[in-house]
Amino acid sequence: MDTRSTCPYCGVGCGVVIESDGARITGVRGDPEHPANFGRLCSKGATLHLTAAPEITRQARLLQPMQRLQRDADPVPLAWDGALNLAADRIAGVVQAHGADAVGVYVSGQLLTEDYFVFNKLVRGLLGSNQIDSNSRLCMSSAVAGYKATLGADAPPACYDDLAHANTVFIAGSNTAWAHPIMMRRLEDAKRANPAQKWIVADPRRTETAAVADLHLPLLPGTDVALFHGLLHLLLWEGLTDAAFIAAHTTGFDALRDRVREFTPKHVAALCGLPEADVVQAARWFGANTPTLSLYCQGLNQSSHGTDKNAALINLHLATGQIGKPGAAPFSLTGQPNAMGGREVGAMANLLPGHRSLASDADRAELAALWGVPPVPAAPGRTAVEMFEAAADGAVKLLWIACTNPAQSLPDQAMVRRALARAEFVIVQEAFADTATARRADLLLPAATWGEKEGTVTNSERRISRVRAAVPPAGEARPDWQIARDVGRRLEARLDPRRADGASLFAFESAEQVWHEHRATTVGRDLDIGGLNWAMLDAAPRQWPLPAGAADGLARLYGDGRFPTPDGRARFAAPAWQDVAQPRDARFPVALTTGRLRDQWHGMSRTGLLGRLNDHAPAPALAMHPQELDRRGWRAGDLVRVRSRHGEAVLPVQPSATVRPAQASVPMHWGEEFVGGQTADGRPLTGVNALASPARCPQSKQPELKHVAVRVEPAKLP
Ligand code: SF4
């Protein structure tokens, strides 16, 4: 039996066909009709069925609700009704004793739009707080803030077809070849068809993407804004800006022109550590070998100045008029499969459903009217790191964590450990039983996962695809939206009994019903899908916006030169260049960055289960330049201790010319199970992110996971 669905890994959002006998998933293949991948799958997508094998399910899945009666004790099973009542009792108790702001709900870009929607309605509609955030905070929040600051809305303007139309592809802070493999295949197709297409890659590391580029700009970590300002300086100098577009469709260019005046090629080459001629070449291709498409991802986003980096790159497109045309746009690549859906439903501390603004009284009132609830407060809730810091400080008493593993993925893991220990009650809603976070939960709620649940996701090009169940959920697992709904109904009985008597906020019986309510929140907004219905989605994936009366979604945005700002003009930003939050110094002289491996996904709770994927890189290693190893007398495989101001890790070192001297890189995937060492205050090491800095972008609050200053010493193991 074939069931069409969507890959649950990255934001490319490839269509898959799940093969099953109705009870067991037996195979997977690419969906030849899905417009993201046209039948192709990467190594992760092509092995999805193996992660659903019965032996893997028995070994790795959380199959029934469990309660830990004491911290550090083994959890014991309990029935669903008891588990849901316990969750509702504890949440209601905290709300009544400490207020709704003492409950922190931390969700995930792995969730489906419908899951996200119900969680958000529970927090905002029922609890009346904004204390919900998503692990998308670690992934895309700088892109969101960058789009809103410049173009006026969180809407990627491009589509995948633009890869084939571009003559220059500027890839900044993205190892597309490994992080978004099917996009890379499409890029390779485009280059084969158009050998004149130029690829420029700006990345401190010589990644697999940089290695095949026409021009690699190995800029020093954190110098992206300086590079982008330098490119604009050159575009102005060489007459490659579009004065008519700037005059007709933008504001703020004079301040930006003043800002970039000092960013001469010589100055930029020195700041960024690049050959001057390469900066000049990049500017000429960007401005003259048009149309130009920029692809960018975590290298810009995971930064203490992530919003500035996004805005400075978008500036280049606005200054050259390279937007709204085939092959011309700034195009953020979404990390997770449904980070976009989470943004659409506004399930982040500073967002509201339907791209509404928390700062707008009218928007808050409109949402309140749609749901029949009081407006939420205007002040944003706590963002991801802030939520856990507040738990560590005792202000957040209860954490409800769904489909994510903050005890591995957040920076400053010593703080995260304190948060999970100090919170009075920790609920973890998960498909997989043995994550670092699940090990610290008081209550474990088993969630259905890929192949077992219904709903929708939105990929990087704003395309909404159906996710379908091919088999029933494993064990007693339930879809995330159902779990949130059932806790919500019980909370209504405890906190707002009038609702429980027939006017429940959670009167959903299917994912489709949830999606209809989501759709209603988009009408009249920039992401309007009022013209889309479930049957259309069932027939084929669709891009937003697709308002009532439209025959199809819009492939690319802003073709008419109008932007969703009050005056209809895009806004140039003029950020100052600022260094990383923790520059290298005498005590911590090495710049450490992190990245993805080709065959792993996030914390490996799914991909790490397969030997076939683990074979690509069975263990983490610290990559350092061969000169660094020679200078210190180290050999490949020697164990080294990597120390930052936040923690330490013991890793084998490997020589690699992909980084410069005084730089190092390590894959991001490994947690406490795999890496020895301890945190700065003497606790057991909690994975690669024990080293990471909690410094974050002031606008987006996205942490600087791409850079931390470290020192590397020989490891003296006991
Ligand atoms: Fe899945 Fe991304 Fe690979 Fe496509 S490119 S198959 S969405 S992991």
**Quick one: average pLDDT of 691-711?**
96
Q: How far apart are CA 361 and CA 377, in angstroms?
A: 9
Ligand 1 site, residue 181, Cβ cutoff 6 A: yes
Question: In this predicted structure, what is the pLDDT of residue 499?
Answer: 74
pLDDT digits (tens, 9 = 90+) for 516-538: 999 999 999 999 999 999 999 99
**Quick one: average pLDDT of 115-119?**
98
Q: Is 696 helix (H, G, I), strand (E, B) or coil?
A: strand
Ligand 1 site, residue 177, Cβ cutoff 6 A: no
Cβ neighbours, 10 Å, residue 74: 8
Q: Confidence band (pLDDT; 50, 70, 90) for 22?
A: confident
Ligand 1 site, residue 41, Cβ cutoff 6 A: yes
Question: In this predicted structure, what is the pLDDT of residue 501?
Answer: 62
Q: Quick check: is 311 in a domain?
A: yes
Q: Is the predicted pLDDT of residue 671 greater than 90, yes or no?
A: no
Instruction: Give the closest residue to 293 by CA, choosing from 335, 325, 319.
Output: 325
397 and 523 assigned to the same domain? yes
CA distances from 682 to 133, 435, 677, 678, 694 (A): 29, 22, 9, 6, 18
Specify the number of domains making up the chain.
3
CB 686 within 8 A of CB 647: yes
CB 121 within 8 A of CB 508: no
356 and 387 assigned to the same domain? yes
Q: Quick check: is 428 in a domain?
A: yes
Residue to probe by mutation, ligand 1, list 18, 40, 44, most atoms within 8 Å of CB = 44
Question: In this predicted structure, what is the pLDDT of residue 67?
Answer: 98
111 and 204 assigned to the same domain? no
Q: Quick check: is 221 in a domain?
A: yes
Q: Is the predicted pLDDT of residue 29 greater than 80, yes or no?
A: yes
DSSP letter string, 268-279: HHHHHT--HHHH
Question: In this predicted structure, what is the pLDDT of residue 682?
Answer: 53
Q: Give the CATH number for residue 295.
A: 3.40.228.10
294 and 383 assigned to the same domain? no
Which atom of ligand 1 approaches the CA of 10 most closely? Answer: 2
Q: Which of 234-238, 566-570, 607-611 is the least confident region?
A: 607-611
Q: Tell me the one-letter amino acid at 341.
A: G
Question: In this predicted structure, what is the pLDDT of residue 454?
Answer: 98
Query: 357-363: long-range contacts at Cβ-Cβ below 8 A with a sequence spacing of 24 or more?
Result: 358/130
Q: Is 561 helix (H, G, I), strand (E, B) or coil?
A: coil
646 and 598 assigned to the same domain? yes
Q: How far apart are CA 369 and CA 371, in angstroms?
A: 5
Q: Is the predicted pLDDT of residue 436 greater than 60, yes or no?
A: yes
Instruction: Give the closest residue to 415 by CA, choosing from 451, 384, 373, 449.
Output: 384
Ligand 1 site, residue 46, Cβ cutoff 6 A: no
Q: Which DSSP letter does residue 80 get?
A: H
Identify the residue whose tokens are 């804004």: 225
Helix axes 141-150, 306-320, angle to 10 degrees: 40
Question: In this predicted structure, what is the pLDDT of residue 197?
Answer: 98
- Owning domain of residue 410: 85-138+338-466+479-543
Ligand 1 mean position to 51 CA, how many Å?
15
191 and 316 assigned to the same domain? yes
413 and 430 assigned to the same domain? yes
Instruction: Give the closest residue to 224 by CA, choosing from 288, 155, 273.
Output: 273
Q: Which residues pair with 76 in a beta bridge?
A: 67
Q: How far apart are CA 206 and CA 217, in angstroms?
A: 9
Ligand 1 mean position to 438 CA, how many Å?
26
- Ligand 1: residue whose CA is nearest its atom 4: 14
Ligand 1 site, residue 575, Cβ cutoff 6 A: no
Which atom of ligand 1 approaches the CA of 180 most closely? Answer: 5
**Quick one: average pLDDT of 700-704?**
97
- Report ipTM (2 d.p.): 1.00
**Quick one: average pLDDT of 689-705?**
94
Q: Give the CATH number for residue 353.
A: 3.40.50.740
Q: Is the predicted pLDDT of residue 145 greater than 80, yes or no?
A: yes
Q: How far apart are CA 652 and CA 717, in angstroms?
A: 12
Q: Quick check: is 555 in a domain?
A: no
**Quick one: average pLDDT of 600-620?**
88
Q: How far apart are CA 461 and CA 543, in angstroms?
A: 7
pLDDT digits (tens, 9 = 90+) for 275-323: 999 999 999 999 999 999 999 999 999 999 999 999 999 999 999 999 9
CA distances from 542 to 112, 317, 459 (A): 16, 26, 10
Q: Is the predicted pLDDT of residue 208 greater than 70, yes or no?
A: yes
pLDDT digits (tens, 9 = 90+) for 356-377: 999 999 999 999 999 999 999 9
Last residue of a domain, one of 332, 365, 389: 332
**Quick one: average pLDDT of 329-348?**
94
Residue to probe by mutation, ligand 1, list 37, 187, 463, most atoms within 8 Å of CB = 37
Ramachandran category for residue 404: left, alpha or beta (phi over 0 → left; psi -120 to 50 → alpha) = beta
411 and 537 assigned to the same domain? yes
Q: How far apart are CA 435 and CA 449, in angstroms?
A: 15
Percentage above 90 pLDDT, the chain: 90
DSSP letter string, 99-132: -GGGEEEEE-TTS-HHHHHHHHIIIIIII----E
Strand 648-655 to strand 66-67: parallel, antiparallel, or no bridges (unpaired)?
unpaired
189 and 102 assigned to the same domain? no
Q: What is the largest CA-CA distance in the chain?
A: 74
Q: Quick check: is 263 in a domain?
A: yes
Q: How far apart are CA 321 and CA 319, in angstroms?
A: 6
**Quick one: average pLDDT of 211-215?**
98
Q: Quick check: is 245 in a domain?
A: yes
Question: In this predicted structure, what is the pLDDT of residue 679?
Answer: 46
Question: In this predicted structure, what is the pLDDT of residue 619?
Answer: 84
Q: Confidence band (pLDDT; 50, 70, 90) for 264?
A: very high
Q: Quick check: is 656 in a domain?
A: yes
**Quick one: average pLDDT of 605-621?**
88
**Quick one: average pLDDT of 654-683?**
78
96 and 161 assigned to the same domain? no
pLDDT digits (tens, 9 = 90+) for 42-78: 999 999 999 999 999 999 999 999 999 999 899 999 9
Strand 708-714 to strand 639-643: parallel, antiparallel, or no bridges (unpaired)?
antiparallel
CB 617 within 8 A of CB 667: yes
CB 113 within 8 A of CB 344: yes
Q: Which DSSP letter does residue 82 get?
A: H
Distance of CA 449 to the CA centre of its chain: 19
**Phi and psi at residue 330, in whole multiples of 5°?**
-80, 135
Q: Give the CATH number for residue 700.
A: 2.40.40.20
Last residue of a domain, one of 332, 358, 393: 332
What b-and-e string marks burial along 160-174, b requiring 16 or more CB atoms within 10 Å of the CB? bebbbbbbbbbbbbb
350 and 494 assigned to the same domain? yes
Last residue of a domain, one of 332, 362, 379: 332
**Phi and psi at residue 425, in whole multiples of 5°?**
-150, 130
Q: Quick check: is 570 in a domain?
A: no
CA distances from 2 to 50, 290, 465, 468, 469 (A): 16, 43, 16, 11, 11
Q: Which residues pair with 5 in a beta bridge?
A: 16
Question: In this predicted structure, what is the pLDDT of residue 503?
Answer: 86
DSSP letter string, 245-271: HHHHHEE-HHHHHHHHTT--HHHHHHH
Q: Which DSSP letter does residue 558 get?
A: -
Q: Is the predicted pLDDT of residue 678 greater than 60, yes or no?
A: no
**Per-chain mean pLDDT for the chain:** 95
Q: Which residues pair with 332 in a beta bridge?
A: 296
Kind and range of the H or E run holding 141: helix 141-150
Ligand 1 site, residue 335, Cβ cutoff 6 A: no
Q: Which DSSP letter does residue 96 get?
A: H
459 and 403 assigned to the same domain? yes
